[in-house]
Amino acid sequence: MPVRIRRHGIIVVFIQGEAVRKNVEVEPLPQNSGGLNVMADAQRFKQIMNNLLNNAVKFTPPGGHFGIHVDQTGDAIMIDVWDTGIGIPEKDIPFIFTPFFQAENRSGEDVEGTGLGLSLVKQLVEAHGWQVTVESVLDRGSTFTIHIPLSALTTEEPAAVYY
Binding residues for Mg ion, per CB under 5 A? Answer: 55, 117
Q: Which is nearer to ligand ATP, 75 or 104 (CB)?
A: 104
The C-alpha atoms of residue 141 and residue 150 are separated, in whole angstroms, by: 28
Q: Which does 124 bind (CB under 5 to 8 A by kind): ligand ATP, Mg ion, none?
A: none
Q: Which does 115 bind (CB under 5 to 8 A by kind): Mg ion, ligand ATP, none?
A: ligand ATP
**With 0-12 CB in 10 A as exposed, 13-18 as middle and 19+ as buried, what is 161?**
middle
- By beta carbon distance, the residue nearest Mg ion is 117
Centroid of chain to Cα 45? 10
Q: Which is nearer to ligand ATP, 14 or 30 (CB)?
A: 14
List of residues contacting ligand ATP (CB under 6 A): 51, 55-56, 59, 83, 85-88, 96, 101-103, 106, 113-119, 142
Q: Which is nearer to ligand ATP, 101 or 163 (CB)?
A: 101
Q: Which is nearer to ligand ATP, 47 or 102 (CB)?
A: 102
Q: Which does 96 bind (CB under 5 to 8 A by kind): ligand ATP, Mg ion, none?
A: ligand ATP
CA-based R_g, the chain, Å: 15
